[in-house]
Amino acid sequence: MNVKFTPFIMLDGHANEAIRFYEQALGAQVVFKQTFGEIPEEGNTSPMAEELKKRIAHSVLVVGRSELFVSDSEPNQQLERGDQVNICLTVKDVSDAERIYDALRSEGKVLSPLQPLYFSPAYGMVTDQFGVTFQIFTDIN
């Protein structure tokens, strides 16, 4: 199984500011950045407030040979201390995503059910029994 771990920083409306900071402080290069307003219509389930449209839905920064993901939470999503940094676990097969998701949610807490979304054939979020939050992402290729 081919698995990739990427640190994922979630902020409450400060992702753009953090991205600029990491560009200067770490020499990060932004290789992808998408706001909630730029999400394809099939990914949007309801009308969006202007404040949400400006927030960062996802960004990928490259620092040296490593990647760092940075995004904003949705305005109604409460981030608790410790939730700002989680691990994005990327796999190539849905079956691997299902196995990992099921293992991590055992005695843990489901934050987002594993399901197909416009950006992934199987994506979900879970906090394991030790309080570590994982985003399970299946590559679209």
The pLDDT, as a whole number, for residue 81 is: 66
Ramachandran sector of residue 112 (left: φ over 0; alpha: ψ -120 to 50; beta: rest): beta
Enter the pTM of the model: 0.76
- What average pLDDT does the segment 43-68 reach? 86
Query: Which of 139, 118, 123 lies closest to 41, judged by CA?
Result: 118
| H or E element that contains 124 | strand 120-127
Where do the domains of the chain lie, and which CATH numbers do they carry? 4-42+49-138 (3.10.180.10)
φ/ψ of 48, rounded to 5, equals: -115, 135
Work out whether strand 4-11 and strand 66-72 pair parallel, antiparallel, or are unpaired. parallel
Query: pLDDT of 65-98, one tens digit each?
Result: 999 999 998 767 777 666 678 899 999 999 999 9
